Amino acid sequence: MVNENKSKIEQNIRAPIVTVMGHVDHGKTSILDALRKTHVQENEYGGITQHIGAYQISKGNKKITFIDTPGHAAFAQMRARGGKAADIVVLVVAADEGVKPQTKEAISHIKAANVPLIVAINKMDKPGADPRKVKQELAQESILVEDWGGSELCVELSAKTGEGLDKLLDAILLLAEMNNLKGDPKGELEAIIIESRLDRKKGVVVSCIVRNGTLRVGDKITASGYNAKVRSMVDANGKNVKEAFPSDPVEILGFSNVPHVGDLILTEGSELAILSQDEDKVEVVGKDAKRMISIILKADTQGTLEAVKSSLADLVTTSSAETTYALKFLHSGTGDITESDVMLAQSGKGVVIGFDVRIPSSVEDLAEASEVIVKTYKTIYDLIDDAAKLLEGTAITETSKIKGRAKVLKLFKLESGDIIAGCKVLAGALKVKARVAIYDKNPADLKKEDEPLFYGSIKKLKKGKDDIDVAGKDNECGVLLKPQYEEIAEEMYLEVL
């Protein structure tokens, strides 16, 4: 009977769920990549999808689940959610740089989430590595490692050489054992959402980690007030699976609406299910404002959307008394910018802002006809900078559609004396007979007073030895100008007029 009970208890011990935090460039991604390459079978490695956000590795006969949280400062909210979703946090600090602002930010999230911590001092292979200094700086942040009289486990390692990686895994497994992590496969379902998005081909895609119970294809589930039936399920290696057990990360299809990152997936009708209010409503940040800015916000994933909204809200709450404004989210959601977004912006006298999403040409045409500003960004810095200008009263103007822009990479002189400019098309397209202006710097950085160095037209376009009529974005081509511009040089830019 004792052995039977012991076996039952051991069956309910689940793999630890771990997230990695720290300052940018201190090696979080390098550590995760090194662990994947070393501890995931070669035929499985590489199948990990960008947005599943988690994967499992094996150390001996024991598994560890890692949440791959983003490292950008503006994604603090996602990291905070990642910390709450995890059983253990690995705090990465570079041995040659020590504690930095994002290190302190990560420590705040870890303390708020009350999650066990392991310090990983990375880049021990670097000449300036000074782990003693790192421990001293951590002590100033109330993080005391074991050899400094504290209780926090600390591992010195190098993601580059692989030194210390196994010690890190041993430390994770030790801490997991000390915390006696349990998850009953036969218990009530609880899975935490770590990413969700609207995919153009698949529909709503949700990444989650099962914390208790078993999630199966065909299950009726609920999250964020939305009910769904699990149509299919894929593990972190891209393999279709029928069921997921405690600590397994999976990507599921079945929701018709995008649930919220950090929410729990529960069995439909479960007593644990607390339905959240529908958030697809107007949200206003900032009260008693002198002026109101209306925004429709779209992003590629729900986690990114929340992070961007949080950053925009921070802009409002930190505004000075002289420039008090409010931010009204007419609508926020995931997926590409649509015609309905433009129409809503027109009726609400707002702007449409997107992060890492597309603007279909039909939507661009509608925006132009409706005189609605629609802008999309690839970096959070640019988005926040433009939003700050908008809130300060400096209206961001929609960048006129770039007809064609190219950078001169190399020059070739033909026997005839003609000069062919080898160019890369940065935006729009270059076409034969198109009028162009030449600048000595990127037209995107030009001021009103900046004049072109030269005006001309495109006489010929070459792709290798062949003549072509059009060269589109990201393509390289040879450009013969009419008339010739003898002073053309590398690093100059061509702009189609």
Structural domain including 491 reads: 404-496
Q: What is the pLDDT of residues 103-129, one digit of tens each?
A: 887 787 777 667 899 999 999 999 999
pLDDT at 470: 86
Q: What is the DSSP string of 405-473?
A: EEEEEEEEE-TTS-EEEEEEEEEEEEETT-EEEEESS-GGG--TTPPPSEEEEEEEEEETTEEESEEET
Q: Which residues of the chain, if any, have pLDDT below 50?
A: 1-10, 40-51, 71-81, 83, 274-281, 287, 289, 320-323, 398-400
Q: How far apart are CA 173 and CA 255, in angstroms?
A: 34
| Pair 31, 164 in one domain | yes
Predicted model pTM:
0.57
Cα–chain-centroid distance for residue 447?
Answer: 32
Which pLDDT belongs to residue 333? 84
217 domain-assigned: yes
Supply the pLDDT for residue 80: 46
Is 130 a member of any domain? yes
Query: Residue 430 is part of a domain; what is its CATH number?
Result: 2.40.30.10
Q: In terms of domains, do 59 and 145 share one?
A: yes
Q: What pLDDT, on the 0 to 100 scale, is given for residue 336?
A: 87
Whether residue 492 is found in the same domain as residue 452: yes
- In this structure, the answer to whether residues 302 and 359 fall within a common structural domain is yes
Residue type (1 letter), 253: L
Q: How many CA atoms lie within 13 A of 245 on its CB side?
A: 13
**Nearest residue to 135 via CA among 86, 95, 191:** 95
Same domain, 441 and 360: no
Same domain, 158 and 29: yes
User: 76-85 vs 101-113: helix axis angle to the nearest 10?
Assistant: 40
Q: Are residues 54 and 158 in the same domain?
A: yes
Residue 398 falls inside a structural domain: no
What's the CA gap between 47 and 30, in Å, rounded?
18
**How many domains in the chain?**
4
| Phi (first) and psi of residue 57, to 5 degrees | -125, 165
Q: How far is CA 158 from the centre of its chain?
A: 25
Tell me which of 203, 238, 267 is where a domain ends. Answer: 267
* Phi, psi of 387, deg, nearest 5: -65, -40
Each residue's pLDDT tens digit, 152-202 = 999 999 999 999 999 999 999 999 999 888 888 998 898 988 888 888 888
